[in-house]
Structure 1
Amino acid sequence: MKLKTTLFGTTFQFRDLKEVMAKANEEKSGDQLAGIAAEDAKERMAAKLVLSDITLADIRNHPLLPPEIDEVSRVIDEAVSEKMFAEVRNWTVAELREFLLQQDTDSSRIRRVSRGLTSEMIAAAAKLMSNLDLVQAASKMEVITTCNTSMGQRGVLAGRAQPNHPTDSIQGMKASLFEALSYGIGDAVLGINPVIDSADSVKNLLNATKEVMAKWNIPTQNCVLAHVKTQMRAIRNGAPADMMFQSLAGSEAGNKAFGISLGLLDEAHELIHKEGTGTGPNLWYFETGQGSELSSEAHFGIDQLTLESRCYALARKYQPFMVNTVVGFIGPEYLYDSRQVIRAGLEDHFMGKLHGLPMGVDVCYTNHMKADQNDMDNLSVLLTAAGVNFIIGVAMADDCMLNYQSTSYHDIATLRETMGRRPAPEFEQWLVKMGIMENGKLTPLAGDPSLFM
């Protein structure tokens, strides 16, 4: 494996594959704070040149985090189709990129090749792509999943209704939820982040969303995004949960910081399939985001993009209904400004789709980041063009509980209208019955939450 190149009269010698991967990454404040980023654009370009000539076999033969010491690495390696890997092992990373961008490469061909790839190979390809490359390649990949309803079909842009409330008030949650429904949002999930991480609070929120779904015959699914252990207690106490939720990291140590392990996820997987109210077969909701492993000092010198890719192999093991990266939520320590957030959102969506995941993005930023709502609008348009399965909707694009900025219910409706996208099919049929939508367009009734009061 060649780790040296000469660029503009300067010779660059890299220590190992881990260093090449880190320095080939686009500029990220998290990698800089970890001390693993390229010193300048010239060194970054040299690392990309070296990475482009490395073979996929080289990447597999030089694990960044050996399977002997990390259970996420074991999940990644055990999922590889040896037959498919044998066909692509001699490809360089540059050749993998070219394959993904070829005009005649479609979703089925990509899905077949992806079975022979590790997460590190997928991350390597992302590092060689421009933003437009990431949009083009991801737009080819169709991933359809089913919980109570299905989403991911071409031309569909679903929305998660996120009616959070700072006190978990059922009345306050419903006020936000009714606004979401009135704009045609909620086809991905009615998903609430609770303030109180208790089984009783989770059960109350799940009961409330189920009551709304039953009263109005809404074809969707519910979920409360508490810690998986709390959800398990609520379900065992009779809570009606269609899906199980958990945040993931790309290393065993990172997941330990989240309070989870493969054993716990396996137990939760069995429980949601036995006692959950979703019809399935896809009954999980996972969230990720670049930088979480660095914040818990569980990154092992690996760059945040590669660690993010590893999250997706772990998610794939449980065949989820939906996965999303909360791209700008952690803050400027990991993604400094809008340019880095936009890049990360496109990278994460591409890598998730190449793993075969039903990928969404929480297009968001924190208030101490150098970004604004116009930047989120830009990323939303790029992701819609890339075929993102769903994005997040919160009231007025301002989450009053989590204290960050995202996209509004109206934003998702606008993206559908301007870019020719539709809600998930079963949900659209319901919107037509309610008089909220007609011929793929919102009617004058849309945006009036009093319809549900």
Structure 2
Amino acid sequence: MRYHTTLGGQGFAFADLKQLMACASPPRSGDALAGLLADSAQQRMAARHVLADLPLKTFLNEALVPYEQDNITRLILDSHDAQAFAPVAHLTVGDFRNWLLSPAASSAVLARLAPGLTPEMVAAVSKLMRQQDLIAVARKCRVVTRFRNTLGLPGTLAVRLQPNHPTDDVRGVAASLLDGLMMGAGDAVLGINPVSDSMATLARLCHLFDELIQRFQIPTQACVLTHVTNTLQLMDSGVPVDLVFQSIGGTEITNRSFGVTPEVLDEACAAARSLGRGPLGDHVMYFETGQGSALSANGHGGVDQQTCEARAYGLARRYQPLLVNTVVGFIGPEYLYDGKQIIRAGLEDHFCGKLLGLPMGCDICYTNHAEADQDDMDSLSVLLATAGLNFMIGVPGADDIMLNYQSTSFHDALFLRETLGLQRAPEFEAWLQAQHITAGDARLLSPGAGHPLLAGLGQFGQADAP
């Protein structure tokens, strides 16, 4: 279906809904690379005018990626909850924006609405929003998940402790774990990106994390971020696995490039839940996403990168995950050129995921060849924490020495908590206080050299020494 409008005496036409959505998007290098970016600011504004007047229900009748050709489209449309959608079914995209910003859209109302929204709907409304609008609405969306602790409660911000090491050396991993725990990080997950796909290495890391958690009774969860099929093998072999990780995208072609299908994810989710390792809940999946992955896989099909990203959230919510992490600046400047584009994308991703009912975190990051720096990351971290971010990443010194990119540090999380009055997951905070790592007011203490964690993690390193 073609869409038309006149703006400032000039006529504009859009061949279909895909082109309309792409032209309405804020500028970003990935859409320019794909040939989808609006030709001018005037065309972009015209597209937004048309989009604002478009009925929300249009997205139920005009698929951006054909239903017959894409399993993610089928999943999104087949699982749509018409009853949940009914309260906003009469609205246009512009009216929906206004309603979301109104007092009528309370946290409870938005939680009930989430199953009735499609990724394309939330992507569309985000294109009409200023950054403060994205923050205001996302802040009202609260998604609480549980495994060994409770994440996403109002007034909290969790941290994934990311102890990556360029050779998967247990001594180096243990040093980063110690650093993070002593800085009060790790309530979201102890999550490592392994260098090796060796099953022996993956099993060794799983056992390390499990032994640490069990020995010190830490109310958190662990994850070795390897391919889902590797995790299935680990579980089949009796290796202790808390969470199943997988990178996912918003189209069937993109997920095929990751070597994953919904059927494989179904199997892994069922297997992890059957282990019953989470005393507080069965949220066992951890997904990572990022704008640009569909373009990298040549699987965007003419859909703009932000809408493709939102479609990945449509797949993620099928599994009621514990964590969803948009790794916003990781792919590089080919997709998000500079700090301005990274900041906008991070706010969009968080907004879209939260509106769809997902527990959104963000790896607030950039690559060294992007036109961005740590000041940009400081800005985005404050904005996202204000918007109710569920969790962020904690890397020693904010510099991941294995993945070679810049993220956020344990100190950054401390700054956000102190400045914005945010707390850790309550079970984790209670453990920190019992370990004399924090005081009753959550302030960090300075444990002495005889602290049990120092000796315990030192033993892990010695056991792995040659």
Give the alignment's TM-score, normalised by structure 2. 0.95
Structure 1's 447 and 189: CA in aligned 2 closer, same or farther, altered over 3 A? farther
Structure 1 residue 103, shift from structure 2 partner: 2.6
2:429–2:442 Cα contact (<8 Å) kept: no
In the TM superposition, residue 447 of structure 1 has moved relative to its aligned partner by: 11
Query: Which 4+ runs in 1 deviate beyond 4 A?
Result: 446-451
Aligned to 1:295: 296
Aligned to 2:334: 333
What's the RMSD between the two structures over aligned residues?
A: 1.5
Q: CA deviation at 1:32?
A: 0.3
Q: Tell me if the contact between 1:2 and 1:50 (Cα under 8 Å) persists in the aligned partners.
A: no
Where in structure 2 are the equivalents of 1:12-411 lying within 5 Å? Answer: 12-275=12-275, 277-279=277-279, 280-411=281-412
- One-letter amino acid of the counterpart of residue 100, structure 1: L
1:346-392 CA deviation, whole Å, 9 max, x = no partner?
00000010110111000000000000011101100000000000000
Farther-moved stretch of structure 1 (139-148 vs 435-444)? 435-444
Aligned length: 453
The Cα offsets for residues 20-65 of structure 1, whole Å up to 9 and x where unpaired, read as 0001011110000000110121111111111000001212211101
CA contact (8 A) 2:288 2:327 kept: yes
Which one-letter code corresponds to 2:99 in the other structure? F
Give the conservation status (yes or no) of the 8 Å contact 2:147–2:278. yes
Q: In 1, distance between residues paired with 2:388 and 2:11? A: 40
Q: Secondary structure at the match of 1:323?
A: strand
SS across alignment from 2:69: coil
CA distance in 2, matches of 1:408, 1:183: 10
Greater displacement, 333-342 / 275-284: 275-284
Q: Aligned AA for 1:258? A: F
Gaps of 5+ in 1: none
> CA 1:137/1:447 → structure 2, altered by over 3 Å: closer, same or farther?
farther
Deviation, structure 1 residue 450: 6.7
**SS state at 1:196 partner:** coil
- Partner in structure 1 of residue 462 of structure 2: none
- What letter corresponds to residue 217 of structure 1 in structure 2? Q
Letter in 2 for 1:306: T
User: Which whole-Å deviations, capped at 9, do the CAs of 1:64-112 have from their partners, x for residues lacking one?
Assistant: 0122211111111122112233443321001111111103421111122
- 2:371 and 2:217 map into 1 onto residues whose CA distance is 42
Q: Distance in 2 between matches of 1:446 and 1:440?
A: 16
2:6 matched to 1:6?
yes
1:443, CA displacement in angstroms?
Answer: 3.1
Measured after TM superposition, the shift of residue 203 of structure 1 is 1.0
User: Are 2:439 and 2:445, in contact at CA under 8 Å, matched by a contact in 1?
Assistant: no
- Counterpart residue type for residue 161 of structure 2: A
Q: Residue 276 of structure 2 contacts residue 282 of structure 2 at CA under 8 Å; is this kept in 1? A: no
What is residue 452 of structure 1 aligned with on the other side?
Answer: 453
Deviations 1:168-225 (A, max 9, x none): 0111001001110011100000000000012211111111111111222211000000
Amino acid at match of 2:435: M
Tell me which moved more, 234-243 or 416-425. 234-243
SS at match of 2:223: strand
Alpha-carbon contact 1:235-1:276 (below 8 Å) kept: no
Deviations 1:300-321 (A, max 9, x none): 0000010001001100001100
- Structure 2: distance between partners of 1:329 and 1:405: 9
Identity %: 51
* Cα distance change, pair 12–449 in 1 and its aligned pair in 2 (3 A): farther
Measured against aligned partners, the alpha-carbon deviations of 1:6-27 in whole angstroms (never above 9, x if no partner) come to: 2222111111111000010111
